Chain A
Amino acid sequence: MRSVAFRLLLVLVVCAASLGTVRAAGETIIVQSTTSTANSGLYEHLLPLFWADTGITAYVVAVGTGQALRNARNGDGDVVLVHAREAEEQFVTEGFGVERHDVMANDFVIVGPPTDRARILGLASAAEALTRIARSKARFVSRGDDSGTHKRELALWQTTGIDPSAASGTWYRETGSGMGATLNVAVGMAAYVLTDRGTWISFGNKADFMVLVEGDPDLFNPYGVILVNPTLHPHVNAAAGQRFIDWLVSARGQEAIADYRVHGQQLFFPNAEPRVEQ
């Protein structure tokens, strides 16, 4: 009986392995990225262009920035494209990534229902808006998932001196989910929420929600791209991964990013440092 079980296990592994090789057709890389970029549809626009230029297929795994960096630490991915500058720099400093490159940016906005209980419409300061929300105990939905957006939200709370986690479960509600799922929750409970503008513009279930606070320099949202360190994880496809990064920051990649529109609006603004084209 044991030998039968062993043979079955062998069959299982062989079957799985044969299906695993599906990916091997042509050069491929895995990009660990964020729900905010994937949900906006940016990759459906960029990746075919990248493929046409290089013949490399980039596969995107969309998770929160925190999880993307953790997966990359395990060597599960060739490139990370995320938005949490401090965490990215730490990732590189600790030797998990090779170098961080600026690639694009957009901004965060605070959206909410038009009733605007906390009266934050048009405020120039995000911190002031959060303070008013906390004071009026109006519902606020947080990502609560260690994502780039969540990290930024916590940083904003820190500048207000308010600790919202004390109110968790009352007016402050943590979903622990992606950006889109969190927006669904906010719309469902008529709550305020911090979101990146890209996801917001392309989000399909806005109901009567509107952008209430925008334009604060503290809401700037830069994205960085990093090659996973191939000396640490030898199977990393460093050559193809580097080509992806080079392409993104090249004039052509930057133009492709700027060209991406949803409902006529530009979602991401390229901001790579100009470099001499090779």
Chain B
Amino acid sequence: MHDLDAALGLALTLVVTADADLLEIVGLSMTVSMTALALSCAIAMPFGALLGTCRFPGRGAVVVALNAMMGLPPVVVGLLVYLLLSNAGPLGFLHLLYTPGAMIIAQTVLITPIVAALTRQAIEDLHTEYAEQFRSLAVPGHVAIAALLWDGRWSLLTVALAGFGRAISEVGAVIIVGGNINHLTRVMTTAIALETSKGDLAMALALGLVLMTLALVVNALVFAVRHQTERHAHA
């Protein structure tokens, strides 16, 4: 497998020489996916917590629908966002199509159900544990939700990582709404798709290795932060 060796060498060269194009692409990937993650956490975590603690008619249907939406195909999300943002579409006046803004919107739509559904489960489990205490102390609803979100923060961090993993690795949505434009909307995954279609498989794989390393670094950082914090908490 000549391409595999070549890919490993190329990946190392790209990283060691701090290739300018690579840094630009990695930077945009991180900016887009991190922004999308922050937005979807801000929307989905309170929503998920609310859904995990409240009881109302039709709740089961909402939970099932939300869980199903975790399987939203990125290309369908891309298409929907394209139709919305297209100059012929209802939000065309924003002129967001083929910008990083459009990519953020698409990824936010894609991962919000994932973050919401997983938050709902984590908070619901915690709530069963705490419910009686909350009742006996007559804790108001919004205080209870805040307490649950805080106590569940490490589970929610893993939830956020799941959302990040989905966002940083998807190609279907960003290639449609971003257009994979060089120096404007090209991210890791669309660059990989492009190199593959050029037949430069070694370069495509090298970029893939860089992307996986990036995900590894993000996860390691999160792990380290948690480890440190817990050490301090127990000290």
Contacts and interface: CB of A to CB of B under 8 A. Distances in A.
B199 A76 contact: no
B87 interface: yes
A206 B104 contact: no
Contacts of A17: 94, 96, 101
Interface in A1-27: 1, 4-5, 8, 11-13, 15-20, 22-23
B200 A19 contact: no
A203 B196 CA distance: 10
B104 A19 contact: yes
Interface stretch (B62-70, B132-140, B175-183): B175-183
Interface in B148-199: 179-182, 184, 194, 196-199
Interface string B70-98: 00000000000000001111001011111
Contacts of B101: 15-20
Contacts of A18: 101
A251 interface: no
Given A23-B184, A180-B196, A11 B39 contact: yes
Interface in A38-77: 39, 43-44, 59-62, 71, 73-76
A85 interface: no
Interface string A198-227: 000011111000000000000000000000
Interface stretch (B42-50, B120-128, B218-226, B227-235): B42-50
B119 interface: no
B105 interface: yes
B197 A184 contact: yes
A15 B104 contact: yes
Contacts of B99: 16, 19-20, 22-23
A61 B96 contact: no
Contacts of A181: 196-197
Contact of A205 (B35, B46, B181, B201): B201
B102 interface: yes
B154 to A, nearest CB: 24
A16 B95 CA distance: 11
Contacts of A73: 88
B39 A15 contact: yes
B100 interface: yes
A180 B198 contact: yes
B105 A16 contact: yes
A180 B86 contact: no
Interface string A114-136: 00000000000000000000000
A73 B89 CA distance: 12
A44 B182 contact: yes
A22 B100 CA distance: 8
- By Cβ-Cβ distance, the 6 closest A-B pairs, closest first, are A180-B197, A205-B199, A16-B101, A75-B87, A20-B101, A61-B179
